[in-house]
Structures are given as C-alpha cells and as structure tokens.
Amino acid sequence: MSTVQVPRSRRRRRGPRPVAVLAALGVVTALAAPALAVTATFGNPAVPRPWGDGYEHFTVVDTNNPAPFDGYFTSIDFFAGWAGAVRFVVVDSDYTVTWLSEVVEVAAPGAHTADFDESVGVTEGSNLGFYAVGRSVVVMDYGFGAPAPYEANLSGPPEVGEPLELEHPLDQVAHRVYSLNAQITAASPEVCKKGGWELYGYPNQGQCIASVVAAPASRHRP
C-alpha cells in the first residue's frame, strides 16, 4: 500500500479538530448522565447479632430507623441465625399494616437479600418488621435501641389494612435492634425542600428535585 505524507501546514490546521470534537462529546455525555436518586436506609445493618426471639408465628416491628420520607424499596437485606421462613411487614406510624410479603424461605444462616417483583411503597414514619413463620430467624440485639412492639405468641399472620394487636403498650416492651433493612428511594420532590437538599448532599434544591423526578420510583406513590 502506498503512503502519502501530509504536508506540515495541513497537519497544523487539522490538529485541534479531534480535541474540539472530544470536548464536545464530553459535554454531551455529561448532560446525558442520569441524576442520582435520593435514597436512605430504612432499618438497621444486616449483621450478626447474639439473640433470637422465643415466640413463634407472631409479628414484631423494629422502630429504630423509621422511613425519613415517602418512598419505595425493592429488596430487604437481613441476617438469619438459622434456617426457616419469614414474611416481612411494613407498618405506618399508627402500626397499621400497609404491606406483607410472601413467604421468604431461608435455607441457611447468614446474610440474605429478599428481592420483590414489585416496588413496595412506604410513607414517612413507617417502620419495618417481620412475621415469623414458625421460629423467628432474624437475629437481634436485646436491651438496646428503640422499643420493639409485637403481637402475642402464635397470633398468626397480620392483615394488610388492619392495625397490629400489640401484646403490650409501647412503653412496656423491651428495646431491640433487628438485623434487617431496606434502601428506600424518595417518591416526592418535597424531600428536597426546606433544606432537605443539603441533608442529601446536593449543591442546590433544583438538582435535588431533578434527581427525584428522574428516578424510576418517582413515578409511583405510596
């Protein structure tokens, strides 16, 4: 194949062009990059803990880290002390059940993630809990954290739309920290207002609102 040397004068004229094109492409890429969603952890770290519940077929609610805003989640991380089964629960601030999962089978102790086919809506102030299908598998710290209200032993699964029938008033139950949590995504731009954008690390309110609107979960409402 024959080659032709490009004259020096032409090389000078053509040299800057690729740089200009790349710079332009960089601007387009930056503008097209999706905004990050506003998220928060709902619950506690899914880590080993020394205790398990003695009750069976009952519901308990962890109140340590309520949902800080209206939002949605699609999975729950939890730590099991042994094999068994569990159904996860979301209750609102009045302890009315707003969601109950299908049975999640736990084949072995350790860290697990339960994924759900549809996103689960929560409202600000909601709490995460579980219904023990037989022996409770989710481990806990006992005597620490916030009160953990629960239903009676062998009370059976809760009903969505109905308040829990707590065995004792909230001020008479032990404090516990359960190993379960969900990552929730904000569903409303309201989370960005009144200084909320600073709390979630945005440079201004407008960028925070844009990220919430761009997130898939923002198209759903609790």
Q: Span 32-36, mean pLDDT?
A: 46
Domain-located, residue 149: yes
Structural domain of 191: 187-222
3-state secondary structure of 158: coil
Phi and psi angles of residue 121, each rounded to the nearest 5 degrees, phi first: -85, 140
11 lies in some domain:
no
Question: Do the domain assignments include residue 22?
Answer: no
Say yes or no: 164 and 198 in one domain: no
> Average pLDDT of 71-82?
96
Contact 71, 122 (CB under 8 A): yes
204 and 176, same domain (yes or no):
no
The answer to whether residue 30 is domain-embedded is no
Q: For residues 95 and 76, give the distance between their C-alpha atoms in angstroms, rounded to a whole number.
A: 19
Same domain, 157 and 218: no
Q: Domain total for the chain? A: 2
* Residue 35 located in a structural domain: no
Residue 11 CA, chain-centre distance (Å), reads 56
Lowest mean pLDDT segment, chosen from 24-38, 101-115, 125-139: 24-38
For residue 27, is it within any domain?
no
Both 91 and 173 in one domain: the answer is: yes
CB 46 within 8 A of CB 141: no
pLDDT above 80: residue 21: no
147 and 122 fall within a common domain? yes
* Token reading at 146: 């916030």
94 and 152 together in one domain: yes
Residues 215, 149 within the same domain: no
Task: Say whether both 194 and 182 belong to one domain.
Answer: no
Whether 166 and 215 share a structural domain: no
Residues 93 and 164 both lie in one domain: yes
The pTM for the full model equals 0.77
pLDDT digits (tens, 9 = 90+) for 135-162: 999 999 999 999 999 999 999 999 999 9
In a domain, 102, yes or no: yes
pLDDT category at 216 given cuts 50, 70, 90 is low
Domain co-membership, 201 together with 140: no
**Which DSSP category does 193 fall into?**
T
Q: Assign residue 105 the CATH number of its domain.
A: 2.60.120
Model confidence at 19: pLDDT above 70: no
Question: Rounded distance, CA 207 to CA 121, Å?
Answer: 24
* Identity of the amino acid at 181: N
**High-pLDDT (> 90) share of the chain, %:** 64
123 and 191 in a common domain:
no
